[in-house]
Structure 1
Amino acid sequence: MTTEPDTTEEAEPGTPGAAEEAAQDTADDSSTETTDRTETTESTDAGQPSEAEAELAAQRELRERIERRKAEKKGPIASGTKLSGTAADLMAAVRAVESGEKPAAAIAFRTPESWPTAGPGALSARPSASPSPAAASAVPARRPQPAAPVAGDPVATEAVRGVLAEGGAPDTLAPQVVSALGDGADGQLRADPWQLLRVAGVRPEQADGFARALLGAECGPDDERRGRALTVWLLEQAALAGHTVLDASALTAALTQRAVPDPDTAVQSTVAEGEALEFQDAVEEAAGPAANGQDDEDDEGREDSEAAERPVRVLIGLERYALAEESLADGLARIVNSLPKEASEDWESSAGASGSGSAAELVRAVAGHGLVLHTGGDAARAEPAALVAAARSLGLRVCAAAHTPDGRRRFAALLAPEDTSDTESGWESVVTVAGLLAGAEGPGRDAEGAFELDLLVVLDAPQLDVESAAMVVESLPDGARLLLSGDPAVLWSAGPGRVFADLLAARACPHVVSRTPDPGPIGELVSGVSVGELTQVEAPGKEVVIVPVRDAGEAVHRTVQLVADSVPRALGVPPEQTQVITPGHGGAAGTRALNSALKERLNPGPGRFGGFDPGDRIAYSPAPGRTVPGQVVKADAEGLHLECGGAPVVVPKERVELSVRHGWALTAHQAVGLHWPAAVVVLPGDAAPSLTRPWVYTAFGRAERHLSVVHGVDQALPRAVAEVPAKARTTRLPGLLGAQVQPTA
């Protein structure tokens, strides 16, 4: 590993933890990873449904099937809360939330004169108070978004405009209100003004001001409607932070911070109205040794007594995620238990052909089990590739699904050319998860809606959120095998849940750990990071270079210099194959500042197509949590024409601002599942509070041949690697699995 000094471009020995100037105490309010997941939606080519629309249609169909299955088992499930939506016309403040420019907490509507907040006559709440530490993770910086804008009924929209104007709210929110509340939105808003919280970007203090303007003296902090609306809002915020449920104590603490006088009553009212669900999960305790001399009847009696007295924790969640998590657990149990018990001589022969080591172990595990987990770094993908080849040699119908098109391409390259497509059925056997679920890629479905597959290999499994995982599992037929493969050290999914980590913790199926290390100095560096060690590595070919900087301005300058000059000159990697990665979108060295500087140097232009010019590198987000790198080709009446992974994409002009960003610089969440020949990771001083071990591991691991670290966080980097693990997520999957699947040895 080498350090690039301040005044020259030559490398000198150094370590990532070398002392620099003290890190800044404050970080930009957009420089956290929660803003990485604000990317929106895919557009529609003329006359053809978009991938996102197809995916939503598949989700609706699947949820209907899930609900029927649940009804057959235990009766109907309580109806849940309506889901918030988005419309074509977004006000500027809400657009800033959705595009990641500002967190919701920083947004204020641009009509302060007519938008009451704290002050005389306002609610006696503390609107700017932060949630309690116990519930802090329930308030991230963005709201979920559907796949495409929904054009509202003009008559209904106009009626809502009148209600909004009467309450002093911007009437530009009307299309979103109609999309969120549906039929009779104006009447619903009059009856319960706090329903305005269903709209993306609206904060509780703003909804309070709106309610006071409509209700007058009837409005108060103890209003039951307010308590319910805030409860649902907090649960939605929790989902954005990755939780599928919240501990009741954390939820009531957050409600207390929002000046709800009786938070317990507010939660129970929300549950009674069917807007949230309550669960009681047993708290496992270590069992003491059994007393000698007890007979079986005494043992049974004691067990019944202990079960009755076993402590439980109360969890509250939205029906949407509860349904998905329970469906996922049911589906996984079905896969585990439905595999036919048959002779596996052919599998054993295939395992032998795969060679010794982890690949053979993986083939044998899949031979005898319906569900198998596989963990390892990027180089370990060769082992699932060997499995795919072995299964295909046995005549099985096999499909592999990656998180990104880049992952799909890389995995296909590991297979022999004849194994990358099934010429008989005409579908490609390596797909993306999103394309598989939308029906745009991969196998067809049978009459019952199940994939026509014998084995599904899901790569990048940590990126599966609970809803996507449930859809995948519910789509597998009885008797099919499922392999979930991925690197457990990377950042978790953009959506709620921690499916892969929960399965690993539950020990519900065999787990094959790869013994194939990632090669070279970069592989050695990231391997150390994965176990909490930031080590100095030998980099004779300048595979790893540290570039110390004093401040954010210098960080931007040095980054541009590296991408445009140093890396191409020293290593022969052109700028278009070098990716800049930084912790957040905002701040003096966030993606926006870096992209502006890089565009000026690499592709200057007036940005005549909505801020873009032909040749600009872009990051296109067809759906929340998904990023596809590409390049601007042209613009015309149809919209902005892009080339993403060799495929043409047309984004209508009204969707450009929300779904396309400049892409010379990305965040680590945007970069998950992608790799480049060279990566420049920028760590400005204000990024120190947002650094975690998974973030550093993910960012460093995006480089194949060369990694430059523009280092301005002093000791915050080694401290984050050693001491700051992934933020905890509250989920129910381990308990649900434990009730249906026996742990493996």
Structure 2
Amino acid sequence: MSTEPGTTEETGPGTPETPEAQTAPRTPDETARGGAAADGADGDGDGAPEGTDGGTGKPELSEAQAELAAQRVERERIERRRAERREPVESGAKLSGKAADLLAAVRAVEGGGKPASTVSAEPSRPVPERAAEPGPAAAPARPAPAAEPVREERPTPAPAPAPAGPAPRAVDAVRRVLAEGGAPEALARQAAGALGEGAGEVLREDPWQLLRVPGVRPEQADGFARALLGAGCGPGDERRGRSVTVWLLERAALAGHTALELSALTAALAQRGVPDPDEAVRSTLAEGEALVFEDALEDAGAPSSARAEDDEEAERPVRVLIALERYAMAEESLADGLARLIDSPSREAEETWAPVVAALSGGGAELARAVAGHGLVLHTGGEAARAEPAALLGAARDAGLRALAVCHTPDGRDRLAALPPARGAGVGTVAGLLAGAEGPGRDGDGALELDLLIVLDAPQLDVESAAMLVESLPDGARLVLSGDPALLWSAGPGRVFADLLAAGACPRVASRLPDPGPIGELLSGIGVGELNQVEAPGKEVVIVPVREAGEAVHRTVQLVADSVPRAFGVPVEGTVVITPGHGGAAGTRALNSALKERLNPGPGRFGGFDPGDRIAYSPAPGRTLPGTVVKADAEGLHLSCAGAPVVVPRERVEAWVRHGWALTAHQAVGGRWPAAVVVLPGDAAQALSRPWVYTAFGRGERHLSVVQGAEGALPRAVAEVPARPRTTRLAALLRPQSPTG
């Protein structure tokens, strides 16, 4: 049995860590049978290529579709800005070997007329340092070019109609090519969406472009290519090398990386049977399908002044990174936007915040003082610490400032709104704000009409969402990123909150409010690597030992249906079940099947669902909303999610909806339930880490049951397995701005 998330099997080179999928990913066989997207395209948080979701235009889905449309608009704006920048800084002069050859090849392509916005060999651009003591009239350290006002090109990502799916003629053309190559015709719609109007001809000329379809693997694309090209097809084909390179970068993005080191990428290409990995990377860069960057590495043993003096005499260590353009541009745009916020506050502006500081005390006042003098502030703490940003929100609104706080999930939003300082006003979700469904309007330049934006659950911000938020803030606005750094990172690429903490580019306010009760005490120990026994006189924490997976499923059903409601008065819908992965004898699929049979048996006439079923609805990558099935009719499956009605068209049910009594930790992060049952089957060891255990155990407010079959793997994971590293560039882009750097 495997308890790994379904998408972790092969997520790319380096140290891949695919977060638990937001819904259960499909296998290639399932893709062939049902035509639903596999891996990233089923809304599981894995990140799907644009155009693969085949929107239906239903008004109930406008928020999710508008979010995707806003992301596309933002990427187009970033690309325009990049194209208008000055020529890239010369780099790579001190490299040698493969890295030097690679950079030289890229420059040769550029010399032949390749646009600099497509193939880039520029290093991470340092963020300008702030003045040590800016006066009242200090000029921003990063002025906007005179010819391009910073706000002039920012479109307003207002809700847009759901994009139409691929044209039937394009789908038919793809279907014919797939049939010729022996590939499942059910992939036709996805391929047409991923490859565009001429997808049929694209596949005929380059069969390995089939790898653009989520769920297709290199060996499957190889078989398709052999059927179409015959003897002219081989592992050394340049087209294959490029497509496998992009596929590996996409898989790495599913694991959270925004870039890969050159050595890791070439090693993975060799494992995939590419005979000349360096040439494959060069070809990919030359075709503009990826970018190359050279990041300087800090010498931790020397002070920054000494490093600066020795720059011209000694070679600085560097790393060569290869990245897909969308994530590279998002990361650079985010760094630019953060630098703009950091540089924008003035002494006069601080006076505006004096009433806010005066109205608060304790941790809230400390946070307000930091916000008064800085454009960007990080706030760390557990669940109890949410009271401090809530107090800041309430005081800022009382002082007449335009303030908003957003959370990762509707449940987080509702819990924040229930705190007395927030008084239910000025709260929303990140997705709702980006889609234009929540929050304030925008000014003529497209900037949000805000003086203060507080983002809770900040560790769940991926790099693209963070870039969109930051780019939407006006000059002079304050941004507070608040969250628990011990939680799992975002389902999408990047580790924004962790990178900002590492860069030290702005003040950090650490809350001193501990989470209460035995569960809070347990989490405090886990956060520092200790799995302690805690006193739980009210049975707030219960360990249920099991010997094998079947027993784990049986005891879980018993806990949810009988023991927890009877002992704690928590209704069935108030208990969440969390397990490490979707597959296996004690994964979400098996648990949901057993729980449905006990709690809501029925024929499952509509795609396996019946009225009353608990579901997990994932309309976009990285977003999962718990809900219930209301009914099904010719229009689709009717759901109630966070109190709002949703209709999922019949053709999207399989991709977007899963049973939701049992979730993975990534699906559950950002939400809390009165009770949580965490299932740890015997072979869960490889899936466990300290952030996973911390996140899963923290989902229960009043009660936590641990169905324990992992024995020594649990304490070992807490003590020895931190978050798996992700390769990102944000910290390097920001580090020169660090007070110590």
In the other structure, the counterpart of 1:89 is none
CA contact (8 A) 2:578 2:665 kept: yes
Deviation at 1:163, TM superposition (A): 2.0
Deviation at 1:287, TM superposition (A): 4.9
CA contact (8 A) 2:235 2:274 kept: yes
Alignment partner of 2:117 out of 62, 73, 78 = 78
In the other structure, the counterpart of 2:401 is 396
Deviation at 1:57, TM superposition (A): 2.1
In structure 1, distance between residues paired with 2:308 and 2:632: 74
CA contact (8 A) 1:150 1:179 kept: no
Deviation at 1:186, TM superposition (A): 2.0
Matched, 1:270 2:266: no
CA contact (8 A) 1:446 1:452 kept: yes
**What secondary structure, in the 3-state scheme, does the structure 2 residue paired with 1:50 have?**
helix
Gap runs ≥5 in structure 1: 1-23, 82-146, 291-295, 422-428
Alignment partner of 2:413 out of 403, 408, 413 = 408
In structure 1, distance between residues paired with 2:348 and 2:461: 31
Letter in 1 for 2:664: T
Structure 1 residues 47 and 508, CA gap change in structure 2 (3 angstroms): closer
Deviation at 1:48, TM superposition (A): 6.3
Alignment partner of 2:366 out of 335, 357, 361 = 361
Deviation at 1:165, TM superposition (A): 2.0
Which structure 2 residues correspond to residues 9-20 of structure 1 after superposition, within 5 A? none
In the other structure, the counterpart of 2:64 is 52
Which structure 2 residues correspond to residues 420-459 of structure 1 after superposition, within 5 A? 420-421=424-425, 429-459=426-456
TM-score by length of 2: 0.83
TM-score by length of 1: 0.82
Matched, 1:153 2:157: no
Structure 1 residues 596 and 367, CA gap change in structure 2 (3 angstroms): same
Matched, 1:461 2:496: no
Alignment partner of 2:477 out of 475, 480, 500 = 480
Letter in 1 for 2:739: P
In structure 2, distance between residues paired with 1:697 and 1:667: 13
CA contact (8 A) 1:238 1:244 kept: yes
Alignment partner of 1:588 out of 585, 588, 607 = 585
CA contact (8 A) 1:283 1:311 kept: yes
Structure 1 residues 77 and 707, CA gap change in structure 2 (3 angstroms): farther
In structure 2, distance between residues paired with 1:595 and 1:289: 55
**What secondary structure, in the 3-state scheme, does the structure 1 residue paired with 2:400 have?**
coil
**What secondary structure, in the 3-state scheme, does the structure 2 residue paired with 1:704 have?**
strand
Deviation at 1:73, TM superposition (A): 2.6
In the other structure, the counterpart of 1:136 is none
Deviation at 1:348, TM superposition (A): 4.2
Structure 1 residues 362 and 341, CA gap change in structure 2 (3 angstroms): same
- Residue by residue over 1:136-181, the C-alpha shift from the partner in whole angstroms, topping out at 9 and shown as x without a partner, is xxxxxxxxxxx98953222222222222222222222222221111
CA contact (8 A) 2:672 2:699 kept: yes
CA contact (8 A) 2:22 2:624 kept: no
Deviation at 1:301, TM superposition (A): 7.0
Which stretch shifts more, 709-718 or 172-181?
A: 172-181
In structure 1, distance between residues paired with 2:303 and 2:63: 57
Structure 1 residues 535 and 55, CA gap change in structure 2 (3 angstroms): same
In the other structure, the counterpart of 1:322 is 328
Matched, 1:718 2:715: yes
Deviation at 1:516, TM superposition (A): 0.2
In structure 1, distance between residues paired with 2:215 and 2:307: 56
Deviation at 1:70, TM superposition (A): 2.5
Structure 1 residues 346 and 334, CA gap change in structure 2 (3 angstroms): closer
Matched, 1:245 2:252: no
Deviation at 1:400, TM superposition (A): 0.5
Deviation at 1:653, TM superposition (A): 1.5
In structure 2, distance between residues paired with 1:569 and 1:452: 49
* Equivalent residues, number: 638
In structure 1, distance between residues paired with 2:506 and 2:547: 49
Matched, 1:201 2:194: no
- Residue by residue over 1:617-639, the C-alpha shift from the partner in whole angstroms, topping out at 9 and shown as x without a partner, is 11111211211111111112221
In structure 2, distance between residues paired with 1:57 and 1:353: 40
CA contact (8 A) 2:57 2:163 kept: no
Letter in 2 for 1:198: R
**What secondary structure, in the 3-state scheme, does the structure 2 residue paired with 1:694 have?**
helix
Matched, 1:30 2:6: yes
Alignment partner of 2:317 out of 311, 314, 329 = 311
Deviation at 1:305, TM superposition (A): 2.0
Which structure 2 residues correspond to residues 524-603 of structure 1 after superposition, within 5 A? 524-603=521-600
In structure 1, distance between residues paired with 2:244 and 2:192: 20
Matched, 1:663 2:660: yes
Structure 1 residues 481 and 301, CA gap change in structure 2 (3 angstroms): closer
In structure 2, distance between residues paired with 1:344 and 1:686: 55
Deviation at 1:410, TM superposition (A): 0.5
In structure 1, distance between residues paired with 2:310 and 2:735: 21
Matched, 1:648 2:645: yes
Which structure 2 residues correspond to residues 211-222 of structure 1 after superposition, within 5 A? 211-222=225-236
CA contact (8 A) 1:363 1:390 kept: no
Structure 1 residues 205 and 191, CA gap change in structure 2 (3 angstroms): same
In structure 2, distance between residues paired with 1:346 and 1:223: 63
Gap runs ≥5 in structure 2: 9-17, 24-41, 44-52, 88-114, 121-160
Alignment partner of 2:76 out of 54, 64, 67 = 64
In structure 2, distance between residues paired with 1:514 and 1:150: 47
Percent of aligned pairs sharing the same letter: 73
CA contact (8 A) 1:687 1:713 kept: yes
CA contact (8 A) 1:45 1:650 kept: no
In the other structure, the counterpart of 2:383 is 378
CA contact (8 A) 1:402 1:431 kept: yes
Deviation at 1:532, TM superposition (A): 0.5
In the other structure, the counterpart of 1:510 is 507
**What secondary structure, in the 3-state scheme, does the structure 1 residue paired with 2:610 have?**
coil
CA contact (8 A) 1:42 1:148 kept: no
- Residue by residue over 1:228-258, the C-alpha shift from the partner in whole angstroms, topping out at 9 and shown as x without a partner, is 1111110000000000000000000000101
CA contact (8 A) 2:630 2:639 kept: yes
Deviation at 1:182, TM superposition (A): 1.2
In the other structure, the counterpart of 1:113 is none
In structure 2, distance between residues paired with 1:439 and 1:732: 29
In structure 2, distance between residues paired with 1:486 and 1:46: 34
In the other structure, the counterpart of 1:19 is none
Deviation at 1:613, TM superposition (A): 1.3
- Residue by residue over 1:469-500, the C-alpha shift from the partner in whole angstroms, topping out at 9 and shown as x without a partner, is 00000000111000000011111101000000
In structure 2, distance between residues paired with 1:714 and 1:299: 49
Which stretch shifts more, 583-592 or 36-45?
A: 36-45
Structure 1 residues 149 and 60, CA gap change in structure 2 (3 angstroms): closer
**What secondary structure, in the 3-state scheme, does the structure 1 residue paired with 2:448 have?**
coil
In structure 1, distance between residues paired with 2:255 and 2:234: 29
In structure 2, distance between residues paired with 1:331 and 1:608: 50
Which stretch shifts more, 712-721 or 332-341?
A: 332-341
